[in-house]
Structure 1
Amino acid sequence: MIRRDHDDEAVSAAIATVLLFAGVITIISGMMVTVIPVIDELHGAVERENMVGQMEDLAAETSRLSESGTPGDAATMNIRPHTGSLAWDMLEGGTWYSATHQPNSAFRLEGVLDLDNQMRLRHAESYIESICATDLHASAESIHHYRVPMLNGTVTATPINALTTLLGSNQLSHETDGSEVDYTMATDDVWEATMDNSQGESWIHSQMPLRVVMWRGDGGAFLATPDQPNPGSETGRSWTIPLIANSHAIHIEADAPFTMEWETSSQSGTGSSSSVSVSQVPSGEQDTVHIWQGEIETNQLEQLALRTSTNARTIIHWGDAVVLDGAGPGAIPWLDRGGSATGIHFRPPAMDGSLIIHNPNDDATTAKVNNLFHSISGQSSIRIVWEAGANSWIEGSDPIQVEWVLDSQTVGQTLTHSTGWRPGSLALIPASDTGRMSGNDWKFEAPTSGGDAEIPELGVTDIALQSAGPSASWSTQTDSGILTHGDSAIVMPIDSTHIGHLSIESTSNALRTYISTGEHGSTEIVEDGAERCVNIDLRASGWIDVVLPWDAVGNWKDGEIRNAWKDGSHFFGVALTLRGSVGDEPHVAIGSAWAMHLPRLTYTFDSSVTDLQILTHGGFVGTNHPEYRADVLIPPPSREGPGPRLAATVPVTMPTPDSVAGNSELELTLRLDVRDQVSTIYAHEVRRGWDGPYAVAIAAESSAEVEFSSDWLAFPGQLDMLDDYVGWVQTSPTMPEVVYHAGGQPVLFNLQVASLSCHATTGGVA
């Protein structure tokens, strides 16, 4: 018999030991569950502390270069990640500014930087006729493209004087029928090429904005575009013009007395204006116009730099058109007092010649000149003598267009083709519906040059059509077609049996229309991304959807998007001009806006949660640590005061294509490429908005000081009651934009865009 003894106490002790060990493990596990997030949070705090200072230093250096640097200035710094990684994000975030030109009005944007071709705008105070969009080329990587109309002639080009331009030489490429030739030119050089339409279409591609002019035959005239036009009148104070070897007469007009100076590489001069009386003056205008006239003889290609002390308009007439004898070539579509070619009140230049007044409307109208009424049938034109000594405003009963023609020999004739006859001319014809250089509808008297002044005939008159967008359908009285941007533009002669008004229409997207007649004339050639206009014809209190005339690239890869910015398929920064009815004027500039894509440098790291970030772009530094809450560390830079003054320089930093990224130490080299003066205007309201997840936080941080205002505490959200504060205001806690409040006074607003490049390499200097 086997006897077994059981030690119950030993068993109990063993079980207790196991249970104790299990309890300890459980406690440790619980502590780990509790402590690890704390450790992770501490790790995230270390990551933030390590990177915030470096990002702030980078933002400060970016702002310093963009505001006070000169092109070519560079700064180098090292970025040392902890355990996270650095990368450039090209597609998220950007900023926009808007300014209104009429009192008690606002101009708001939404979705303009989404990389598609859709946006929304809001302006409830006026009837909106159109919006015109211009590619800002806010990065030196975004190339300027000039599409030369397929006409015979000579083309000259010179860099426009910007605030600060690229150091050294400018790279220019001339493309003809797909074949390119590269050139190098200094900032004061003039490039020249002879165009032959039998060789195919020509393009000019340039790193810098150019002033491009086409010259034909023995003379002509054109209205020179200022380097920085005033959006309310298209006047300016400086011009850069590439002159050919010939005689050139300069005619300058302004509303106020002025002094002027001009300079070429071989000569220079100064002058002061004289006054000329003007009759039939509309309300709010002066009864005198101030003019200066002079002549320059050039023996070679030369850049003309011209400056005036007040806003003015400048006309160049050259060759056989220097002497205004009523028998030379040249014609200029003239602008109304609001800078539009379709309007009610015009003050034509104080230059002898003739005027053709076009009525693009279906119904008859009248034009009042020197207090005499002239009747104009629907879709018809009249021609009258124009003398500088009998200068008068012109007032249309309905919107009209006015064309100044040097020749006056056929005035008073009733022969066929006499209304539009001249020895020759070349012009970019503004659209009737928008009054700008692109649109959907043209109705005007066709220019003629055949025969002679005694027996005028149609002659050789060509229409050069270009698409101001991805594609456009077009039609005339005798022909129609579809014009895509990638295909060659078209040139077609006017039918030999054509009489009277010429009608050109587009049912999708906008067109540009150049008209040449005879062998003589001259005109500026506009940049391909300039003033692509969209008709709106609407007044609404809410948001208005707009389709922008560019390709949608939101679903493209980063490299493809950069190529689209480079070749102009999609804008890199856009300037918007809103035009609408003010009083009896149909196409007044009522608002302007500027939107810039801002590539951002992002540091991504983990804490108790993953994919947290610290980022910088446009001088702003922000983070979503902790817990994905957007936080502003450094707000976007702006300079305010004294008084109602606001200045902003937007730094647009583009990484070089071969820059590296990752979690190793990087050496960043920032370089200022160019700084451009975008606008200097008096505005009734200025707004700033941001795109992306930090927009609302930026708006709140920018307006934090308004919380100390007694008026704001008493009347929150009511700007008209805010008298003790000047600065940014977020009118609603959820709005991604702020208003610059100046107590109801107009704001002197100065906006600059600085283009910087950033090159990143691994390693760095210890």
Structure 2
Amino acid sequence: MRSTLKRDEDAVSAAVATVLMFGGVLSIIGIMMVSMIPVIEELEGSVERHDMSSQMSLLAHQTSALSEKGMPGDSTSIELIPVDGSLEWQHLQSGMWYAATWHEDMSFRMRGALNFDDELEVRHPESVNTALCIDDLRLGPANPFYYTVPDWAERVLFTVAPGLAIPLGPVDVDLLEAGEVTDNIQLRVDGMHEIDAANYQLFTLASSHELNVFVERGNGGSTMVTPNDASPIDNTGRSWSVPLPAGTSRLHLISEDANQIELNDGASTTTHYALPSGQNQVGVAFTHTIVQQTAGVVHISSSDASRLIVQTSLESDQGITPIPSKDGQFLGHAFIAPSLEGEMVFTNPGTTSVTVTWRGGGISVAPNQSLG
């Protein structure tokens, strides 16, 4: 059987035309895509810029409304819904100005109040700022307390400060270097911890509860201890929790009236009495020397509003501490001086001479001068 193959020229031409047409369509689509991509990218960038601008304007309005709500101590919340991305709270890098005023149409603002260090910016163009009173209204483990240890520190001792929000279990204390947690300390409520600061660079303590922190340099010193229940009027108190190093320390309590003092060093509780001397314009002083084999916490309570000075060295030339006036300020007209050996220095920051008198004696201090 024979068959004859015959070339169909029309079919070949149709196939070639189809391939060429398909290639032409792809070329046209490619050219269109190349020409449209810059337009699409520009439109996308415009949309993103518009979204970002709208988001920043919305957040600025919401934060302004949040900062102006409520009174000091009130709890106020607002829901922040970003257009894109997420919001996170930076405790240590706060750069936002917060409204803090009881009056409308005032621009009293604070910045840097959330990192709890020793710097705070205040803005109040309506009048001259002469004094600023600050209190911490935060409670709970979700609001940590930060303590920045200076770079000159050699040793740090701290204990838990008694209070209404004291936890039932241990207190979490994180040691942060450059914002990173390098150590975690589980501190018992009645315990004390000691850190050799020479082993760390500039570091910060972040605690779930308020602490009493002592920073030492050299061989002991003196300091005025803040009470657990400090009076908002004159900063006196009736109870103290003092972390003391091992060795001999001296406690000196100053009050205006007769005092009953209780000391608890963890092993025993002793009661002491301080009575007035009967002399005119003379306070009541109580001094007690305590010897500890190991570092520990000493709890002190008094029946009268008092101030406590702690000496971790019995040498009179070791340490220096300022003495507040009767109203709790370090600038004042009436002071109760400690009954301790040492040197007292008077500083006159005013523009006129002042006379310091005590028990019939007196001394004159020139303006902008110190005299000891």
User: How does the TM-score come out when normalised to structure 1?
Assistant: 0.32
- How many Å separate the matches in 2 of 1:115 and 1:130? 13
The higher relative CO (CA closer than 8 Å, separation ≥ 6) is in 1
Look up the match of 1:290: 284
Q: Is the 8 A contact 1:177 1:199 kept in 2?
A: no
User: 1:164 offset after TM fit, Å?
Assistant: 4.5
- How many Å separate the matches in 1 of 2:108 and 2:266? 43
Q: Is the 8 A contact 1:277 1:289 kept in 2?
A: no
Look up the match of 1:653: none
Look up the match of 1:161: 162
- The secondary structure found in structure 2 opposite 1:345 is coil
Look up the match of 1:318: 312
Q: Is the 8 A contact 2:283 2:336 kept in 1?
A: no
| Equivalent residue for 2:341, pick from 327, 331, 352 | 352
- How many Å separate the matches in 2 of 1:343 and 1:360? 11
| Structure (1 or 2) with the greater strand fraction | 1
Look up the match of 1:263: 264
Q: Is the 8 A contact 2:140 2:208 kept in 1?
A: no
User: 1:329 offset after TM fit, Å?
Assistant: 0.7
Look up the match of 1:189: 191
Q: Is the 8 A contact 1:218 1:320 kept in 2?
A: no
Look up the match of 1:305: 299
**Cα 1:115–1:161 shift into 2, 3 Å:** farther
User: 1:268 offset after TM fit, Å?
Assistant: 2.5
Q: Is the 8 A contact 2:244 2:312 kept in 1?
A: no
**Cα 1:350–1:183 shift into 2, 3 Å:** same
User: 1:182 offset after TM fit, Å?
Assistant: 1.1
Q: Is the 8 A contact 1:276 1:291 kept in 2?
A: no
- How many Å separate the matches in 2 of 1:228 and 1:343? 22
Asked whether 1:109 is paired with 2:102, we answer: yes
1:546-585 equivalences under 5 Å are none
Structure number, greater radius of gyration? 2
1:175-574 equivalences under 5 Å are 175-180=176-181, 181-196=183-198, 199-277=200-278, 279=280, 287-321=281-315, 327-383=316-372
- The secondary structure found in structure 2 opposite 1:219 is coil
Q: Which amino acid aligns with 1:211?
A: N
1:635-654 equivalences under 5 Å are none
Q: Which amino acid aligns with 2:102?
A: L
Task: Name structure 2 gaps, 5 residues minimum.
Answer: 1-64, 74-100, 111-121
User: 1:339 offset after TM fit, Å?
Assistant: 0.5
Q: Is the 8 A contact 1:218 1:319 kept in 2?
A: yes
Look up the match of 1:14: none
Q: Which amino acid aligns with 2:188?
A: A
- How many Å separate the matches in 1 of 2:351 and 2:249? 40
**Cα 1:379–1:267 shift into 2, 3 Å:** same
User: 1:362 offset after TM fit, Å?
Assistant: 4.2
User: 1:128 offset after TM fit, Å?
Assistant: 8.4
**Cα 1:237–1:184 shift into 2, 3 Å:** same
User: 1:219 offset after TM fit, Å?
Assistant: 2.3
Deviation >4 Å, runs of 4+: 89-93
**Cα 1:155–1:351 shift into 2, 3 Å:** same
**Cα 1:207–1:376 shift into 2, 3 Å:** same
**Cα 1:175–1:233 shift into 2, 3 Å:** same
Q: Which amino acid aligns with 1:365?
A: V
User: 1:266 offset after TM fit, Å?
Assistant: 2.5
Q: Is the 8 A contact 2:257 2:275 kept in 1?
A: no
Look up the match of 1:424: none
Cα distance per residue 1:62-105 (max 9 Å; x no partner):
xxxxxxxxxxxxxxxxxxxxxxxxxxx987854447xxxxxxxx
Q: Is the 8 A contact 1:111 1:119 kept in 2?
A: no
**Cα 1:343–1:211 shift into 2, 3 Å:** same
Q: Which amino acid aligns with 1:313?
A: R
- The share of aligned pairs that are identical, in percent, is 20
User: 1:179 offset after TM fit, Å?
Assistant: 4.1
Q: Is the 8 A contact 1:223 1:313 kept in 2?
A: yes
- The secondary structure found in structure 1 opposite 2:191 is coil
- How many Å separate the matches in 1 of 2:289 and 2:132? 38
Q: Is the 8 A contact 2:250 2:314 kept in 1?
A: no
- How many Å separate the matches in 2 of 1:302 and 1:206? 19
Look up the match of 2:147: 146
Q: Which amino acid aligns with 2:284?
A: H
- How many Å separate the matches in 2 of 1:199 and 1:188? 25
- The secondary structure found in structure 2 opposite 1:205 is strand
Cα distance per residue 1:652-708 (max 9 Å; x no partner):
xxxxxxxxxxxxxxxxxxxxxxxxxxxxxxxxxxxxxxxxxxxxxxxxxxxxxxxxx
- How many Å separate the matches in 1 of 2:178 and 2:67? 34
Q: Which amino acid aligns with 1:231?
A: P
